[in-house]
Structure 1
Amino acid sequence: MEDDNRRVYCATFDAEQYWRDPMLAKLPFIPDRNAQRIVSVMDELMFLFCQPGDAILTRKPFNPVQKQYLQSIGFDFESNVFDLDPRSELDKCIFQLLCESDNKLQVSPFLEGQSILAPFAVLPYAAQVCESYNLQCFSPGNEIVQNVNSKLYSHQMKDRLDIRNVGVIVHSSEELHSEGQKLLSAGDFLIKDLFGVSGKGNLLVQSSQTLDRMVSYITSQEQKGKYTQFVLEPLLHKKDDFSCQFYISAQGETTFIAVSKLLNDGFAYTESSTPDESFMQFLEAGNYFILMERLAKELFKDGYYGHVCVDSMILEDGEMVPLIEINARKSMSLIKHQVDQYLQQYELRGNLSFLSVSSERPDFSYEQLLNTLHDEGLLYSPANRKGVLPLSASTLEINKSTMKAAKGRLYYSIVSPEAEEKKRLNEQLRSCFSMHSYRIYN
């Protein structure tokens, strides 16, 4: 990219909450601290971007068993042994933790002045971190990043690119009711939070009763001084979800990186995989990449450069919807691409998925899990050319305590040259978890 200096990768994966105006009315949601803790340690996934000499800075010390395994299969990166979040301040992004750290005697030498800060997403406090720790940062300002990540921006971009736009913006509970009734007369519709992500921030309305409850809920927030802005869209009957990853340089040059097919559970991400050649030809014939090039130019015109992930879909009737929303940051599909970059040297490809589980055995450690996978011939290594490649450890362990039913998540890639064998390996992985007193939720 812009420089060959040492890079320090870091992440706060629920970036959207830090771009969101606290005075903006919200859709109803149930806070889940267990899930929030899991998301907070997804930053371990950033090791996939590291080249030899680079480092990954995580909220919690990088799991040493996981690091040893990753080094054994060829990954080479530095990681912190200190705890950046000893008080579990989950509402603070990693940049705020760095700014307020009581442990700068350890943090400063690890960051090494003049290293390049390479975040998952640009968030508040990023500029202060670069200044405080003498880091280089090749990214636009937070206000620009916040603007282009709003669903309002994605909605307006459809008009700028002459894409069919079925959505409408509402600015009050009254407009929500009137526009919602119009949409409901034709079928189900979605209320979209301007900064909702991965299953949070999209609400499906299928009846007048649901709409009335939402109007009442938003009205009560307006009465407390909040302001309203939502995108309403008819529910589209989709056949395929997919995304396109590209990079805009500081000079405005666009580099296409990958396309990923997505498997979603409702509105939440569950898996990324590589599309076949016929799918790519379909996109090419529909001028999809020409449109993405135009989109990149518009983003750069508005001051943004860096990684972009565009969510798209194909409807049941074959119509392509090229722009659902713009994610001006790294993405899970880009992480999947990084897995492929690693596997390419062995002429292999994987997917990116996760198991959402709870453990009935807090004494069953991550090291025991890796040993079990190894003993059963399931653990990936370059020598066996297939298997389960675990990508995160802390997401599985973070909620473990003496209590039972600790929720966790294992991110992994299934590696095999054969599609049928990938299915078999996935089934064996699930059986392995079940045998060791894990309950699987997805």
Structure 2
Amino acid sequence: MTATVHFGSFDAEAAWRPADLARLPASPAVGGNRGNRCLDQLLAVGCAPGDLLLTAEPMDDGLVEVLAAAGIAPRIVAVPGPEDATVEERLATLGDVGLPQVRGWAAAVYSVRPETSAAVQRLGLVATLPTAEVTARVNSKVWSNDLVRGAGLPGAAVLASTPRQVRRLVEDADGDVVLKDPYGVAGLGALRVTSPRMLDTVVRHLERQAGRGARVELLVQPLFDEALSFSTHIEVGPGAIVRWRGMRHVDNAEFAYRGSGPLSPEQHASLDTPAHREVIAQVGAALAAEGYTGPVCVDGLWLRDGTVVSVLEVNARRSMGLFNLQLDQRAGAVGLSCWLRCRTTPVVAGDALGRLLSALDEADLLFRGDRPGVLPLASGTLTPPRGRLFFAVFASPGAGRAALEAKVGDLLSATRPIRVSSPDS
């Protein structure tokens, strides 16, 4: 079997987003640029032994050992190049300079960016990739919203192309609404409008940008009364073959990702229906007709009135839910289930991850591949002063997960160094 090279920057939406689009007001992303660059370390969960993972920055040696003990043991190599350059840009420029020889290997990319094809060619990898233009088009929420409206599905939004239209649509709505940037992701680019004052602030922000020549393209969507967020995962292959991969429960907080996990048996029975599968098959066919091949995550909602919004957004790339499915396959082999968690936490400069790994080991909580435990998944995302810890919780179905997750929080607090202020501060 041919080994595989895995790589890809997680800020694909920034590469797809047209430069002349107006932006919603937003706070800085947790973790900053370095934290976002290091998200590519999460790709290790999809690697088989013998695979190669190329990352933007080196992974902590201690974490590499812990992952290997859990059965996740690719070779991990940081790609040299300018700090502000993506992995794809570095590979497209340098090729395999300073890297292991991988010509003829398969390529598994996080997403297709403008430089991805050139990176694959420079490495001599084998891959069937859609064009960056096609990938950008189908990842726009405008594209998926047009699909929803054309199929008469629940959950459609209305597109606003001027600040005035934004104001009118929000004021005419029955209740709070959500404004969505076509290329927003993980809580950035989605804004809940809750008051006239907030609407005034948003409209003024858009008017200033429009006055400088920016285009306004925002989706105005009702704030749904959701009972459950979920994701459906498929693979669109050559020849328009659509392969079903599974469904995940999604935990969000104010649109920001907090985790994924298995649906309960009752939830799964209610959501994984022939009607839902038919809708997802339509999504796959529409993507194939556009020329897209590769992994797809379709976000959906189950509303409190019983309505199932099968297609809220389409993410034509790898996703956290897919990583959770891959981890769950490992868990299932030993009779467990897996939950992928993201925890925002204060981080003091120093070896934050090393302290946590030592504490988990001393408490006999590290997952070693055969019994319940916790497995941190990335080192570079724990950036001071506030970073993100991505970790997997392996537990028996329906039991033990909450307790293990709570222990992680306790250990994070216990291992955080105390800041000592100088007398003059």
- Bin the TM-score by the shorter chain: over 0.9
Runs of 5+ unmatched residues, structure 1: 401-405
CA contact (8 A) 2:233 2:322 kept: yes
2:88 aligned residue (87, 91, 95) = 95
2:204 aligned residue (216, 219, 227) = 216
In structure 2, distance between residues paired with 1:328 and 1:159 = 19
1:322 aligns with 2:310: yes
CA contact (8 A) 1:58 1:84 kept: no
For residue 394 of structure 1, what is the aligned residue in structure 2? 380
Deviation of residue 83 (structure 1)?
A: 4.9
In structure 1, distance between residues paired with 2:272 and 2:29 = 42
For residue 227 of structure 2, what is the aligned residue in structure 1? 239
In structure 2, distance between residues paired with 1:272 and 1:168 = 28
For residue 403 of structure 1, what is the aligned residue in structure 2? none
Greater than 4 Å deviation, 4+ residue runs: none
Secondary structure of the 2:333 match is: helix
Amino acid across the alignment from 1:315: L
For residue 76 of structure 2, what is the aligned residue in structure 1? 79
CA 1:142/1:72 → structure 2, altered by over 3 Å: closer, same or farther? same
CA contact (8 A) 1:283 1:289 kept: no
CA contact (8 A) 1:378 1:429 kept: no
CA contact (8 A) 1:309 1:327 kept: yes
For residue 256 of structure 1, what is the aligned residue in structure 2? 244
1:297-308 to structure 2, matched below 5 A, reads: 297-308=285-296
1:171-190 to structure 2, matched below 5 A, reads: 171-183=161-173, 186-190=174-178
State the number of aligned residues: 418
167-176 vs 149-158, greater mean Cα deviation: 167-176
In structure 1, distance between residues paired with 2:50 and 2:411 = 35
1:149 aligns with 2:139: yes
In structure 2, distance between residues paired with 1:166 and 1:118 = 32
CA 1:251/1:418 → structure 2, altered by over 3 Å: closer, same or farther? closer
In structure 2, distance between residues paired with 1:119 and 1:275 = 27
CA contact (8 A) 1:161 1:295 kept: no
Deviation of residue 388 (structure 1)?
A: 0.9
Secondary structure of the 2:374 match is: strand
Secondary structure of the 1:70 match is: helix
CA 1:167/1:374 → structure 2, altered by over 3 Å: closer, same or farther? same
What do residues 232-255 of structure 1 show as CA deviations (whole Å, max 9, x unaligned)? 111111110000001111121111
Amino acid across the alignment from 2:411: C
What do residues 329-363 of structure 1 show as CA deviations (whole Å, max 9, x unaligned)? 11000000111112222121110002221234x34
1:349-368 to structure 2, matched below 5 A, reads: 349-360=337-348, 362-368=349-355
For residue 413 of structure 1, what is the aligned residue in structure 2? 392
CA RMSD, aligned part only? 2.0
In structure 2, distance between residues paired with 1:95 and 1:173 = 36
Deviation of residue 75 (structure 1)?
A: 2.4
**What percentage of aligned pairs have identical amino acids?**
25
1:30 aligned residue (18, 21, 27) = 27
1:113 aligns with 2:103: yes
CA contact (8 A) 2:176 2:192 kept: yes
For residue 422 of structure 2, what is the aligned residue in structure 1? none
Amino acid across the alignment from 2:91: L
1:422 aligns with 2:401: yes
For residue 366 of structure 2, what is the aligned residue in structure 1? 379
CA contact (8 A) 2:338 2:394 kept: yes
In structure 2, distance between residues paired with 1:140 and 1:225 = 31
In structure 2, distance between residues paired with 1:313 and 1:305 = 25
Secondary structure of the 1:270 match is: strand
What do residues 372-410 of structure 1 show as CA deviations (whole Å, max 9, x unaligned)? 211112111235x111111112222xx35xxxxx32222
What is the TM-score when the length of structure 1 is the normalising length? 0.90
Secondary structure of the 1:351 match is: strand
